[in-house]
Structure 1
C-alpha cells in the first residue's frame, strides 16, 4: 500500500500577488485590496539586496483604524511587516502551518528558486491540508 502524497505549500499558494511600493499610502493600498479581493499585499524591494515586506488588511485595521489614524496620511511602510517570512513552495503544508503558528503569523511569502511565486496564509494551508486528509480517509 502506498503512502498518500503530502500536501505542499505550492498546493495552497495564491499566485501573482499584488506588489506595491512602501511609499504608497494606506488609502491606495485599501483601494487595491478592495478591487482585487485579496487580503495580502507584497511590498516591493528597494534594491536587489533588500527584502520583501508584507501588508494585510488586519495590519491596517490594528495600526491605522484602531488607532484613529487617517489612511491618506499613513504610508504602507509604517504598517507593513518587514522582512516577510519566506517559505518554500515544496514545504509540506503541515510544517508551514506549524511555522506560522509558532511565529504567530497569518501569512508568508512563497519562494521557489529565489523567485517570489505568491503568498499563502493559514486559511489556505489549513483548507488544503483538511482536503488532503479528507481524501485520504473517504467514508
Structure 2
C-alpha cells in the first residue's frame, strides 16, 4: 500500500548545529560531535536578522582548498545568507522541485521562525521514497 503524502517533517534530520557566525571555522568544527553533521546554521543576531548557512562543502571549497587557516576565518565570512528554507508540513515532491529549481542540496526546515531540522536530497530520496512505498 502506498502512503498518500510524505511531508518534510517525515524525512528531515537533526544533523546540524546552530552557532554564532563570529566563531571561527576551527571553533565550529570543534563543536561537531558526529561525522554526520551536514550544516552549520548561523544564528540570527537579533529579531530582525536572518539565519545563515555554512555547509561542510563550503568549508572545503572556501577554506581547505584555498589554504586558509581555519582558526583565522569566521563562519560569517563564508555563510550563505539569507537562506531558502522550507516548512515541515511541505510535501516532499514540492521540496524536491525547489531543490532542483534553485540548485540546492541542503535547506533548513523552519517553523514559526525557528529552525527545527534540516532536509537534504539524501533524506528526500531515501527516506521519502521509503515512506511513500510503505
Give the TM-score of the pair, scaled to structure 2.
0.89
Kindly report which structure 2 residues correspond to 1:78-117, keeping only aligned pairs within 5 A, or say none. Answer: 78-117=77-116
Question: Which of 111-120 and 72-81 deviates more?
Answer: 111-120
Q: Runs of at least 4 residues of structure 1 off by over 6 A?
A: none
Matches of 2:71 and 2:114, distance apart in 1 = 32
Could you give the per-residue CA deviations for residues 35-64 of structure 1, whole angstroms, max 9, x where no partner exists?
Answer: 233121110001101000111111100111
Aligned length: 133
**What SS does the corresponding residue of 2:9 show, helix, strand or coil?**
helix
1:65 and 2:64 are equivalent in the alignment: yes
Unmatched segments (≥5 aa) in structure 2: none
Kept in 1, the 8 Å contact 2:6–2:132? The answer is no
Give, in angstroms, the shift of residue 122 of structure 1: 1.3
Structure with max Cα Rg = 1
Unmatched segments (≥5 aa) in structure 1: none
**What SS does the corresponding residue of 2:31 show, helix, strand or coil?**
helix
Give the TM-score of the pair, scaled to structure 1.
0.86
| Structure-2 residue corresponding to 1:120 | 119
Give, in angstroms, the shift of residue 32 of structure 1: 2.1
Report the aligned-residue RMSD.
1.8
